[in-house]
Amino acid sequence: MRTRRYDPERRQRIIDAAIRVVGSKGIGGLSHRSVAREADVPLGSTTYHFKTLDELMVAALRQANEGFAKVVAAHHALADTGSDLPAELADLLGEWLAGDRVGVELEYELYLAALRRPALRPVAAEWCEELAEVVARRTDPVTARAMVALMDGISLQVLLTGGEYDAGYTREMLARLIR
């Protein structure tokens, strides 16, 4: 372990290390000790920046959520009232699922950890709420939430079954919600 007196990036390295630990060992493998080892920092650094594992998991999930938010932000056609909203959302989901699969699985693992860790629940809900806000600009809020729930369910099914993502099916199901 190298000694670092001034290390302004340490907090970020700890978050990145936590994400790598969860990616390789799952939530069960996450501890201050495993993260400190992965980040090559003293154990006290992890507990200084994150008093509890929940705080560390919140930071990791928030960072993972940012990746999905970037994919959403890059889809400018979502704001275009002339575009086919179900097709745009199906493409968005396909792009996200076709990206870093380990990253997507990690995000869902952290997301589902909120079932047992109440501190994660507000952060776990953020990506759904943010996407629903974007979709609600094109439809009503109730339909937007239903569309996001459908996308979430399809994502989970693809990840759990190892199946192929079917953009045509997703588009058709989303279109049925709008009708």
Domain that holds residue 163: 59-178
DSSP assignment of 70-130:
HHHHH-GGGG-TTS-HHHHHHHHHHHHHHS-HHHHHHHHHHHHHTTT-GGGHHHHHHHHHH
Q: Among 51, 76, 93, give the residue marking a domain's end.
A: 51
> In this structure, are 95 and 46 located in the same domain?
no
Instruction: Retrieve residue 154's tokens.
Output: 């399809």
Q: What is the CATH number of the domain that holds 40?
A: 1.10.10.60
Query: Distance (Å, rounded) from C-alpha 31 to C-alpha 21?
Result: 9
pLDDT digits 0-9 by tens, 22-41: 988 988 999 999 999 999 99
Question: What is the domain count for the chain?
Answer: 2
> In this structure, are 110 and 142 located in the same domain?
yes
E-only strand ranges, the chain:
none
Give the C-alpha distances (Å, rounded to integers) separating 149 from 132, 155, 167.
9, 10, 16
Query: Distance (Å, rounded) from C-alpha 62 to C-alpha 165?
Result: 25
> In this structure, are 73 and 47 located in the same domain?
no
> In this structure, are 66 and 33 located in the same domain?
no
Element (H, E) at 89: helix 85-98
> In this structure, are 86 and 145 located in the same domain?
yes
> In this structure, are 65 and 38 located in the same domain?
no
> In this structure, are 88 and 152 located in the same domain?
yes
pLDDT in tens, the chain (179 residues): 555 567 789 999 999 999 999 988 988 999 999 999 999 999 999 999 999 999 999 998 888 888 778 888 888 888 888 889 999 999 999 988 887 777 788 888 888 888 899 988 998 888 889 889 999 999 999 999 999 999 999 999 999 998 899 999 999 999 999 98
> In this structure, are 13 and 30 located in the same domain?
yes
Query: Distance (Å, rounded) from C-alpha 143 to C-alpha 162?
Result: 28
Q: What is the CATH number of the domain that holds 173?
A: 1.10.357.10
pTM here is: 0.82
> In this structure, are 37 and 115 located in the same domain?
no
> In this structure, are 100 and 38 located in the same domain?
no
> In this structure, are 37 and 74 located in the same domain?
no
Q: Among 32, 51, 70, give the residue marking a domain's end.
A: 51
> In this structure, are 157 and 71 located in the same domain?
yes
